[in-house]
C-alpha cells in the first residue's frame, strides 16, 4: 500500500520510518541537525510551504500536507489491511 503525500507523490507505507511536523521539529537539537543534513542533500524544507517531513529507509520527502493528515491516512490504510 502507498501513502499519498501530495505533489503527485506516493510513498510505500512499509518504507516509512517517521512523519515529522515541521512546525515543531526545530525545537529538538537532534531534529535541527537532521534538517541541516537534509539541506546538505539539496532537500531544503524552507524552499517551499512544507508542513511535514516523511523519512523512509531510502529517502526524505517534504510535503505541504500536515503531519496529522498524513498520519490519519496511514492509520486508515493500516486499519483496512488489518480488516482484510
Asked whether 62 and 4 are in contact (CB, 8 A), the reply is no
Buried b (16+ CB within 10 A) or exposed e, 17-51: eebbebeebeeeeebeebbeebeeeeeebeeeebb
Confidence of residue 54 (pLDDT cuts 50, 70, 90): very high
Domain count, the chain: 1
Q: Domain of 77?
A: 2-83
Inter-residue contact 42 to 53 (CB < 8 Å): no
Q: The cell 541537525 sits on which residue?
A: 33
DSSP letter assigned to residue 52: E
Tell whether pTM > 0.95: no
Please determine, for residue 83, whether its predicted confidence score (pLDDT) is greater than 70: no
Amino acid at each position: 500500500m502507498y501513502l499519498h503525500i501530495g505533489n503527485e507523490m506516493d510513498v510505500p507505507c512499509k518504507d516509512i520510518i517517521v512523519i515529522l511536523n515541521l512546525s515543531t521539529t526545530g525545537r529538538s537539537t537532534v531534529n535541527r541537525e537532521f534538517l541541516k543534513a537534509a539541506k546538505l542533500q539539496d532537500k531544503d524544507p524552507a524552499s517551499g510551504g512544507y508542513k511535514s517531513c516523511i523519512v523512509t529507509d531510502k529517502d526524505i520527502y517534504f510535503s505541504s500536507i500536515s503531519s496529522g493528515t498524513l498520519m490519519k491516512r496511514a492509520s486508515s490504510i493500516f486499519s483496512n489491511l488489518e480488516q482484510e
